[in-house]
Structure 1
Amino acid sequence: MTILRIAKYLFLFVVAIALVLMALANRETVVIEMVPEALVGWFGIQYAIALPLFVVILGAVMVGVLVGFVWEWLREHRHRADAKLHKRAAQSLEREVKTLKGGTGQDAQDDILALVDGTGPAR
């Protein structure tokens, strides 16, 4: 095993232990309300759910990470589109170079010999 792999597993182990300790320390139940009590009369609905505090904390972290990933993916869309365009242009140029080199299998040496022999096109 390499040093980096051991360091990665050690880091993941420390993070897992920290998450378990955080969950054990925050087991008390909290009530999450979607509409403040002052506005319940106006909307006529009251939605509340009771969850352990560590579930709320970890859920908020996961939602934040997902929003960040989506935001970054949308921000980098222009770069991916440019890369795709440049890849297509490079493939097109490679095909053109292959065509110009002569798809018949002749190379530059054969063209020179044809000119010397007089059978090639005059310049």
Structure 2
Amino acid sequence: MRFIRLLFVVFLAIVLIAVALANRDIVTLSAFPANFGQYLGGQWSVDLPLFLIIFLAFACGMLAGLVWEFLREAHIRREARLRSAEVARLESEVGNLRSRHAAPRDEVLAILDRPKGAVPGATGPAASGSALPAPR
């Protein structure tokens, strides 16, 4: 898997370098259309190589997608956090109930809990919590 990841990164680097070398011309990037910036004052355009504009547009698109997904999945993360707190509370409650209700067992229950095929009086430990005597 590590080799495949390295191969992908190398391939991506080659593609990006090829795009950069093919698009080295300087272009003007304007923030507003056709001299609209003159009404706002200042210069609202910049001269950059075309590959840099392509890479910046790609990075801005990735960032916008990341923010969009983060906001879209916020309710899922909140629900998971609430469910995990509920699970922890229930596990604690089950643990408390087990310790509180771990009273000594009835002799009949000890016989019923014995594994199948076990012969009464054969060697082996008695069921835990039973009042039966241990085998000799």
Cα displacement (A) at 1:15: 0.9
State the TM-score, normalized to the length of structure 2: 0.71
Residue 96 of structure 1 aligns with which residue? 93
Cα displacement (A) at 1:38: 3.7
Cα displacement (A) at 1:34: 1.4
> Where does structure 1 lack aligned partners over 5 or more consecutive residues?
117-123
Contact persistence 2:24–2:49 (CA under 8 A) = yes
Contact persistence 1:40–1:46 (CA under 8 A) = yes
Contact persistence 2:23–2:50 (CA under 8 A) = yes
Closer, same or farther: CA 67–87 of 1 in aligned 2, 3 Å: same
Say if 2:36 is the partner of 1:36.
Answer: no
Q: List structure 1 runs of 4+ shifted beyond 3 angstroms.
A: 111-114
Cα displacement (A) at 1:33: 1.3
Cα displacement (A) at 1:45: 3.5
Residue 120 of structure 1 aligns with which residue? none
- Percent identical: 36
Which of these residues, 10, 19, 22, is aligned with residue 22 of structure 1? Answer: 19
> Where does structure 2 lack aligned partners over 5 or more consecutive residues?
108-128, 132-136
Residue 80 of structure 2 aligns with which residue? 83
Distance (whole Å) between structure 2 residues aligned to residue 40 and residue 59 of structure 1 = 22
Residue 117 of structure 2 aligns with which residue? none
Aligned Cα root-mean-square deviation (Å): 2.2
Amino acid corresponding to residue 102 of structure 2 in structure 1: D
Contact persistence 2:30–2:46 (CA under 8 A) = yes
More helix by share: 1
Mark the structure with the bigger radius of gyration. 2
Cα displacement (A) at 1:111: 5.0
Deviates more, 1:56-65 or 1:40-49: 40-49
SS at match of 1:37: coil
Q: C-alpha deviations, 1:9-62, integer Å up to 9, x for none?
A: 112111100100110111111111112234234333332111111000000000
